[in-house]
Chains A and B, each alone.
Chain A
Amino acid sequence: MGALLEIRDLDVRFSTQDGEVHAVKRVSLDIHEGTCLGVVGESGSGKSQLFLAAMGLLAANGKVSGSVRYRGQELLGLPAQQLNQFRGSKITMIFQDPLTSLTPHMNVGAQIVEALTQHRKMPRDEAQTRAREMLDYVRIPESGRRMRQYPHELSGGMRQRVMIAMATITGPDLVIADEPTTALDVTVQAQILEILRALKTDKKTALALISHDMGVIAGNADEVQVMRHGEVVERGPVDAIFYAPQQDYTKMLLAAMPRLSDPVRLATEPREILLDVKDVVVTFPVKGDGFFAKTRPLRAVDGVSFTLRAGETLGVVGESGCGKSTLARAVLQLIPPDAGQVVWLGRDLTQAQQREIRGARKDFQIVFQDPLASLDPRMPIGVSIAEPLKTLEPGLSRSTVRARVATMMAQVGLDPAWINRYPHELSGGQNQRVGIARAMIVRPKMVICDEAVSALDVSIQAQIVDLLKSLQAETGLALIFISHDLAVVRQISHRVMVLYLGRVVESADAGTLYDDPRHPYTRALLSAIPTPDPEVERARARTLLTGDLPSPLDSRAQLTFLKSKRIDDPDAVQYRPKLLEVSPGHLVAEFD
């Protein structure tokens, strides 16, 4: 039996101002009916370009050669009109960012119906019914109402489900999913992966799953292909790749994946208390509907308390929207808290003057999530790194500043000769090193890492975590490590705090929390982490949480795990779950 999709010697080149970029180098692959091919590789490995080229969706400056056959029919070089008989109908694609791939001014129902009327020439009302069924299939609750909503009204997970519905409604033989879960939280990722798996088993749809995450691939793929620099490094059945990798690169990728079973060695011992955060509340005014609508306060951070010691790492974990970044900004006084205290070395910063706070900034710094966005694109990185030094320690001579920048750059693994480079000339990992250098140059006592490794490839992630640990060992600084990824947090944290909708649901020593999670939310988060182990992945039933994070404006949402005390009115003043100390230092919020 021939393969469903046969790619032979596919070669993609881009002509750019800096010369030719050879993105994909003579790659061949087969996808058989009803199977899943996982394509793994780091950013820039050409894995997305490979499939974009096969679908004729390459950017204008790209050149393709080779052969792409779908059921024996050559697709490459077909005119768009003929190509569209297959594209969008027999072969469909799901992209990483569902917001940019949905049309913003059409409601989602209309977009799904359009796919049917275009490709299947189906009458409108029949298409409507089919669309509803499909939304039910991808487990979108209240599908009738959702059909009339616009993309921006849906959460990321919902949008990705809509994308899957759109991609599968025409009954394709092959769905190409390009990093379908990378932008999503772990719990939502688990749900999406389950839908994709169901697609393969129920509908016998073949799947090309492109991801940088070995864990995502492990549970779904039948065959795996590892790519690097536009070439296939290794290919084989999923078990062979994961249990007996042949190539060093594959081994390196697997080793870089943080696993919950890995032993952890922490760099430092916690010492005296630096930071004492008490009952911090941050609210944002949210406008209601209508012209004279009242604004309602949204409690992004709702009574969070913790302490941080010198040399200690506190991991803060939660899904997007749980207030972890807001908490970081409140601690740093970048957003003034509405209530509570932030006591830094015995002094309450919430009462301090702006000028005083600016002086104290020397002691606490922050590393941001998006390394490129957090560096001024028009500043050479040397100037960016020097900026806090020049601001917080004025009076240093030029040569001292230059020397300290050079030392710092060497310390974070950057070549000091690069001071005149601009951020866009560096890779994501290098830019994050610049961000760390900028935070560390004033020799702070505490650094907050706000999702500092989330945007990076796994291998780079591991390097950055190691870098942070070694810096911690050298300088004894305290870290607050914010992430949605529990596996990474475990690598570096002494203590871990889990946030849910702005409140702490569980907080304990890292060892205790991972070995003995009590709160159902913590357990759900832990169970959703994908592991790079096909057997474990296939065996597990992971969906402990269904649906999305509820809206924080709905007061009932806080009591998702304590339904017995819940008053069924979205505006009612609800019971506040207490934090109980189940064992020394292990706090758990009440739950049913």
Chain B
Amino acid sequence: MSAIGNSRKAETLERAFAGRSLWADARARLFKNRAAVASMIVLAIITLMALFAPYLSRYAYDAIDYDLVSCAPSWWPGDAACSAGGTHWFGTDAVGRDLFVRVLYGARVSLAVGVVATLVSLVIGVLYGATAGYLGGRVDAVMMRAVDILYSLPFIFFVIILMVMFDRNFILLFVAIGAVVWLTMARIVRGQTLSAKQKEYIEAARAAGVSPFAIITRHIIPNVVGPVVVYVTLTVPDVILTESFLSFLGLGIQEPLTSWGVLISDGANTMESAPWLLVFPALFMAVTLFCFNFIGDGLRDALDPKDY
């Protein structure tokens, strides 16, 4: 009896003495944030639905049915033009394809582009910006002028050159978008780093013999994470919209494949006659962006021990 009590006491004592890192603390705090957790669940559901899209609907995403063109969902009020459309939950588009399955296929592209391009921009931008800001002086000047030059290239021109050089393909979309969005990230991180490196704790770390790379990764980056996370949550929708713009120009995703951006821009054209073509993709996109925003806010708060 007392042995059990003792071992339990030793265990709690051990736990109290076990060091925790910022990241472990941040994870715990993030999971206490209800909005963030709910958002993660919703995002996970959308992702799973996108992954298992073929099993969730009996229609193929490219199956054309000229008998059921622009059919409203069966439950749509005041419209019963296509009584056979009862199984098209979200209705059909102008060539009779099932919108539900197309929204899910669109999610694949949009989420992939949004997340991957943002992650790429995050990694490159943060490392590049933090390095330039921390080293300062001439290195900083050269690195930031390189960014300025890339900034000044017209985006569309840049994408067209890429397409001409490498042919059109899906990967290129990531490269093109990623190549552009990291620039702003690098700028933001550099500015934050410049102010962070003046702080005494950076000097303290130098006095402790910590190497420049470890200072950047261990001290600077965690301390610039607030504005970075906010910018990331703004980047994801931006990237998704950029993709639809490229697709609109014929430089991105090609029919019959689709993305939310493409669906929304098509839907906007038929807003008056077939509003569901706009409503459903837009709804999915809006929910996703909300989720990213809540997760971003949660992350920022979780990574700031003072806010807790």
Measured CB to CB, the residues of A under 8 A from B are 329, 332, 334, 358-359, 361-362, 365-366, 368-370, 373-380, 382-383, 386-388, 391-392, 402, 405-406, 416-417, 419-420, 422, 424, 435, 438
B200 at the interface (CB under 8 A from A): yes
Q: Are A378 and B222 in contact (CB under 8 A)?
A: yes
B145 at the interface (CB under 8 A from A): no
Q: Are A419 and B19 in contact (CB under 8 A)?
A: yes
Q: Are A362 and B209 in contact (CB under 8 A)?
A: yes
B250 at the interface (CB under 8 A from A): no
Q: Are A378 and B208 in contact (CB under 8 A)?
A: no
Query: Which residues of the partner chain B approach A420 to less than 8 Å between Cβ atoms?
Result: 16, 19-20, 25
Can you name 17 extra interface pairs (CB under 8 A) apart from A366-B207, A376-B219? Answer: A332-B207, A334-B203, A359-B209, A361-B207, A368-B200, A373-B199, A374-B201, A374-B203, A374-B204, A377-B305, A380-B19, A383-B22, A392-B208, A392-B209, A417-B16, A420-B20, A422-B306
Interface residues as binary, B112-131 with A (CB distance below 8 Å gives 1, 0 otherwise): 00000000000000000000
Chain B interface SS verdict (over half): helix
Q: Are A378 and B305 in contact (CB under 8 A)?
A: yes
A435 to B199 Cα, complex, angstroms = 15
Q: Are B209 and A358 in contact (CB under 8 A)?
A: yes
- Which positions 84-111 of chain B face chain A at CB distance < 8 Å? none
Q: Are B17 and A419 in contact (CB under 8 A)?
A: yes
A506 to B233 Cα, complex, angstroms = 59
Nearest CB of A to B226, in Å: 10
Query: Which residues of the partner chain A approach B207 to less than 8 Å between Cβ atoms?
Result: 332, 334, 361, 365-366
B242 at the interface (CB under 8 A from A): no
A382 to B17 Cα, complex, angstroms = 10
A420 to B209 Cα, complex, angstroms = 23
A438 to B201 Cα, complex, angstroms = 12
Query: Which residues of the partner chain A approach B203 to less than 8 Å between Cβ atoms?
Result: 329, 334, 368, 374
Nearest CB of A to B139, in Å: 16
B194 at the interface (CB under 8 A from A): no
16 pairs across A/B with beta carbons < 8 Å? A358-B211, A361-B207, A368-B203, A373-B200, A373-B201, A374-B200, A376-B219, A378-B305, A380-B25, A387-B205, A402-B17, A406-B17, A420-B16, A422-B305, A422-B306, A435-B204
Interface residues as binary, B159-199 with A (CB distance below 8 Å gives 1, 0 otherwise): 00000000000000000000000000000000000000001
B266 at the interface (CB under 8 A from A): no
Q: Are B214 and A391 in contact (CB under 8 A)?
A: yes
Q: Are B306 and A387 in contact (CB under 8 A)?
A: no
Nearest CB of A to B40, in Å: 22
Interface residues as binary, B40-78 with A (CB distance below 8 Å gives 1, 0 otherwise): 000000000000000000000000000000000000000
- With A334-B203, A406-B17, A424-B306 known as contacts, the answer to whether A378 contacts B223 (CB < 8 A) is yes
B303 at the interface (CB under 8 A from A): yes
A424 to B306 Cα, complex, angstroms = 7
Query: Which residues of the partner chain A approach B19 to less than 8 Å between Cβ atoms?
Result: 380, 382-383, 386, 402, 405, 419-420
A386 to B219 Cα, complex, angstroms = 14
Q: Are B210 and A380 in contact (CB under 8 A)?
A: no
Nearest CB of B to A427, in Å: 15
Nearest CB of B to A479, in Å: 15
Interface residues as binary, B222-241 with A (CB distance below 8 Å gives 1, 0 otherwise): 11000000000000000000
Across the interface, A378 reaches (CB within 8 A) one of B18, B204, B211, B303, namely: B303
Max count, chain A CB within 10 A of own CB: residue among B18, B199, B203, B222: B203
Nearest CB of A to B77, in Å: 47
Query: Which residues of the partner chain B approach A358 to less than 8 Å between Cβ atoms?
Result: 209, 211
Q: Are B22 and A380 in contact (CB under 8 A)?
A: yes
B140 at the interface (CB under 8 A from A): no
Q: Are A376 and B223 in contact (CB under 8 A)?
A: yes
Query: Which residues of the partner chain B approach A380 to less than 8 Å between Cβ atoms?
Result: 19-22, 25
Query: Which residues of the partner chain B approach A438 to less than 8 Å between Cβ atoms?
Result: 204, 208
Across the interface, B208 reaches (CB within 8 A) one of A387, A402, A422, namely: A387
Query: Which residues of the partner chain B approach A392 to less than 8 Å between Cβ atoms?
Result: 208-209
Max count, chain B CB within 10 A of own CB: residue among A376, A405, A419, A424: A376
Q: Are B22 and A388 in contact (CB under 8 A)?
A: no
A504 to B210 Cα, complex, angstroms = 32
- Which positions 278-308 of chain B face chain A at CB distance < 8 Å? 303-306
Query: Which residues of the partner chain A approach B20 to less than 8 Å between Cβ atoms?
Result: 380, 420
B34 at the interface (CB under 8 A from A): no
Query: Which residues of the partner chain A approach B208 to less than 8 Å between Cβ atoms?
Result: 361, 365, 387-388, 391-392, 438
A422 to B223 Cα, complex, angstroms = 14
Nearest CB of A to B21, in Å: 6
B206 at the interface (CB under 8 A from A): yes
A370 to B218 Cα, complex, angstroms = 21
Query: Which residues of the partner chain A approach B201 to less than 8 Å between Cβ atoms?
Result: 373-377
